[in-house]
A and B are shown apart, each in its own frame.
Chain A
Amino acid sequence: MEMLIPIIVTLVGAATPILIAALGELVAEKSGVLNLGVEGMMLVGAIAGFVAQFYTGNPYLALLCGAFAGAAVSLIFAFLTLSLSANQTATGLALTIFGTGLSALAGAPYSAKPIALMQPLFPDMLARDPFWRVFFGYSFPVYFSFIMVAAIWWFLKRTRSGLILRAVGENDHSAHSIGYSVTGVRYAAVVFGGAMAGIAGACFPLLLTPQWAESMTAGRGWIAVALVVFASWRPLRLLAGAYLFGLVMTMELYAKAGGGVLAVIPSELWAALPYLATIVVLVLISIRRDASTNAPACLGKPFMPTN
């Protein structure tokens, strides 16, 4: 048990950003919008969070800056796909390319400059306790991610607004004819997804490696997109999926540190494992049943009101 605690702590750290980003993407997809720009929005959030932490040392402000930055670039996507009905796949790819470039440009002056990691939320007595730290040893984003799983589940299942959002994603024309603003709802969902991706990105410098590195999210945004499919658009399954990936990444870290049996497998294979695991879970979910059954019916389709 003693040995497991540091592993669990690492696992939680690895899973949290993917979970936060995937939750945001889930809400956007539930409204019928497929935003493949998660990776780009995360990178923009990461550099915004880094810069804020670098100058202010206030990690909460840094998370907020990450959220704003992610939301801001998601507006480009929203405008193109929702107001101009551009192809969502292509626009999402463009957003990822843009976010990668923008973050690299903004981050160029900050390479190899360290920042302070975000401290645990609870007092040291709990957070540093050899046992209790498994529950209380984490910083704010970890608890935030759990709260958001519950909140989004509740929002989608139990609230009127959640019902409207789902209606827009399942049948945009009906929702429009009843009088709901399809475009308005989708704007809100995309911007929410952008803010969540931004927070997830900011977690990388604040929680994992306290510095800026180009493309530091290393494809985790794409894994988040895949997780939404894996979870068949259900928040609770997203939680399970994110922790499954966290486990794979934790094993990679232990293998790199030269951990016994794990080191038998070449380090490059460990590094490739999260991506290969993504393919495996996508395959498994499609074998189990038709993966697309639970997908929002209007996912990825542009909507243009005819009036």
Chain B
Amino acid sequence: MQFRLEKRAEPSRFMLYATPVGAVILTMIVGAIIFSLIGYDGIGAVREVFLTPLTNAYKWQDLGIKAAPLIIIGTGLSIAYRANVWNIGAEGQYVVGALAGTWVALATYTMSGPWILPLMILAGVVGGALYAAIPALLKTRLNVNEILTSLMLTYASIQLIYYLIRAQWKDPMGIGFPQTRRFAESAQLPTVIPHTIVHLGVPIAIVVALVAWFIMSRSVFGYRMRVVGAAPHAARYGGFSENKTIWLAMLVSGGLAGLAGVLEVAGPFQRMVPGFATGYGFTAIIVAFLGRLNPLGVIFAGIVLAITFVGGEVAQTTIKLPDAATGIFQAMVLFFLLAGDLLVRYRIRRVVTTPAGAA
């Protein structure tokens, strides 16, 4: 008995949405086995990383504020990847957006008013979009690979944090710590649920994803992105300029990464610190894929990845699972998802072979 792959005439919609769920379940099973094999409490690890954040109500706030940046960045990336524009430097755009917001917060430190926060957010979006404009410019004008340029700019952006907070922006009261002063009240992101840490970024994330979903499925812009990604030749016939699409994809994904950055610095951090870049921009790549490049899916995927972050922290304290385990679980989700893609495009058929000579 043998198995054979047969190309489906149409990608299977069922498999398209079933495979992300399957990938998470497989990660839990295989993860438990692997972590047991290398000497950890495998079942405990999976329980703490994937389930405790959901069953423990105290962790829900954490889930919300960790999911928010993942959803915002993941939404932007899902739009870019749809158009086959491989922006993998969202982490850098997130950093530059946060730095732009920090700049506004520090420049207005002695002032107050309800206009400061919107101005910071605007600066963050513009900052992120401008940083993404560099790979867009190089790609459209000189055909330089956007994967490499956007990633290299991420490494450079982290040095930019170090540079700015070491001297120019250093907290005068910081006793030698390289960090900015804490933002003034007007530059802090308010919480939306009293007595919790759930800040304005959480509802913003949901709104961003919903608006993006509406635009992607109902507008010419969304149609353009989908056509250019799926059928570049047809798109050219249809009069969609490829360069314009690259620009739009980069600016939208960079701007959203910048938005996430400014919300993060004005919310949970309330100042710029050396360890600001915690990798949301990279994890959001997984979020975009797990959400099937669909903003609605990105909401769920963002929550799933947020669970692994929160759960990873839980497991660190309860069962002494190293921090790095979170990254391994996240990568496994993506591996299984990519493997499952085969089932979307192909079906597996059993081939009954008749032994030679039997006929």
**Interface residues in chain A, defined as those with a beta carbon under 8 Å from any beta carbon in chain B:** 36, 76, 80, 84-87, 89-91, 93-95, 97-98, 100-105, 108, 214, 218-219, 222, 225-226, 229, 266, 268-269, 271-272, 275-276, 278-279, 282-283, 286-287, 290-292, 304
Complex partner residue of A86 from B142, B152, B338, CB under 8 angstroms: B338
User: Does the CB pair A105–B325 fall under 8 Å?
Assistant: yes
- A95 and B334 CA atoms in complex are apart in Å by 9
Does A97 lie within 8 Å of B153, measured CB to CB? no
Q: Which chain B residue lies CB-closest to A225?
A: B148
Cβ contacts under 8 Å, A90 to chain B:
285, 289, 334, 338
Interface-forming stretch among B52-60, B159-167, B294-302? B159-167
In contact, A86 and B341 (Cβ under 8 angstroms) = yes
> Would you list which residues of chain B between 299 and 343 have a CB under 8 Å from chain A?
322-328, 330-332, 334-335, 338-339, 341-342
What residues make up the interface of B, taking CB atoms closer than 8 Å to A?
5, 7, 86, 88, 138, 142-145, 147-149, 151-153, 155-156, 159-160, 162-163, 166, 282, 285-286, 289, 322-328, 330-332, 334-335, 338-339, 341-342
What are some 16 contacts across the A-B interface (CB < 8 A)?
A: A84-B338, A85-B342, A89-B147, A93-B285, A94-B338, A98-B332, A101-B327, A104-B324, A105-B325, A222-B152, A266-B163, A268-B160, A275-B155, A278-B148, A279-B148, A283-B138
In the complex with contacts A90-B334, A279-B153, A102-B159 CB distance below 8 A: no
Q: In chain A, what residue has the closest Cβ to B342?
A: A84
Task: List residues of chain A with CB within 8 A of the CB of B159.
Answer: 268-269, 271-272
The distance in angstroms between the C-alpha atoms of A93 and B86, with both chains bound, is 11
Q: Given contacts A90-B338, A269-B159, is CB(A282)–CB(B286) below 8 Å?
A: no
- Contact partner of A101 (CB less than 8 A), chosen from B152, B162, B326, B339, is B326
Determine whether the beta carbon of B155 is less than 8 Å from that of A219. Answer: yes
In whole angstroms, how far apart are the Cα atoms of A100 and B285 in the complex?
15
Contacts of B330 in A (CB 8 A): 97, 101
A246 to B153, CA, bound (A): 19
Chain A residues contacting B335 (CB-CB under 8 Å) are 76, 80, 91, 94, 98
Additional 19 contacts, C-beta under 8 A, given A85-B342, A268-B159, A304-B7: A80-B335, A89-B86, A90-B289, A97-B282, A104-B322, A104-B327, A214-B324, A218-B155, A222-B151, A226-B148, A272-B160, A276-B156, A279-B144, A279-B152, A279-B153, A282-B138, A282-B145, A283-B144, A286-B144
A98-B328 contact in complex given A86-B341, A229-B148, C-beta closer than 8 Å: yes
Chain B residues near A84 (CB-CB < 8 A): 338-339, 341-342
Residues of B within 8 A of A279 (CB): 138, 144, 148-149, 152-153
A278 and B138 form a contact (CB under 8 A): no
B33 CB to closest chain A CB (Å) equals: 15
Q: Which residues of B contact A229 (CB under 8 A)?
A: 145, 148
Q: Are B331 and A94 in contact (CB under 8 A)?
A: yes
A292 & B322 in contact (Cβ 8 Å cutoff): no
Residues of B within 8 A of A276 (CB): 152, 156
Contact in complex: B143, A268 (CB < 8 Å): no
A291-B142 Cα distance, complex, nearest whole Å: 9
- B residues less than 8 Å from A304 (CB atoms): 5, 7
Please, which residues of chain A bring their CB within 8 A of the CB of B7?
Answer: 304
Question: Which chain B residues border A266 with CB–CB below 8 Å?
Answer: 163
